[in-house]
Amino acid sequence: MPEQARPWAGCETTEKAHRALTRIRESFGVEALPSGLAELAGHESGIHDLYMNLKRQLDAGKLSREDKLLVAVGIAAAAGSAESTRYLGAACREAGLEPAEILAAISVATVCTVFNGYYKFRHSVPEGEFDAFKAPFNANTFVNSGLSTARMELICIAVSSMNGCSMCVVGHVEKAKSVNVTPEQIDEAVRAAAAASAFSAVSSALAAPPGIEAV
């Protein structure tokens, strides 16, 4: 890869960094990592922290691993990271989730992002000034996603939080609680989203440019 495409070139990948890459593969059961992770591995602490945060936040807890993986793939898609979306989607399949469930999570995250973009604006302007205007956005996905209400609301909470829409977070938290989702489960979903967001960001930021083979 030309040096101008990799201004961080020349950093040695240590044995510990190689182990972190291996453990990410083992943790998700998917061999082909996003190309940007090989680049990040030039910084030992950076790739180790990424691995540990993914493992800790996506392992089962109050929420199942499957729930967390659906949150993660929704976050990756909302972030526009093709490589991380494919990788986490493959991890979903390894965990036993169906293709329709994966695409449903991506669809929910996509529709949620539309509303996040608008309601961040509404929250930023004086109260009442734009009350006469309605958000003319389609949201059939929220009714016909094929996911449980709890699962869908967890994805929406996570995506809304990562997108910085406090109005949407409040509304989705209330809806999640109404279907018996606990605060502990909501917290775990947002922590999973934070780890997946970082994974998606660095996967995109350090991805090999088109037509250039990754290291």
Helix (H) or strand (E) holding 160: helix 149-163
Amino acid at 144: N
10 phi-psi bin (left φ>0, alpha ψ -120 to 50, beta other) = left
Contact 72, 201 (CB under 8 A): no
Q: Are 50 and 40 in contact (CB under 8 A)?
A: yes
Structure tokens at 149: 């209400």
- Burial class for 40, CB neighbours closer than 10 Å (0-12, 13-18, 19+): buried
Q: Report, as residue numbers or ranges, the catalytic residues.
A: 165, 168
Cα 40 to Cα 46: distance, rounded to the nearest angstrom = 7
Quote the CA–CA distance of 182 and 185 in Å, as a whole number: 5
Closest CA to 112 of 42, 189, 20: 189
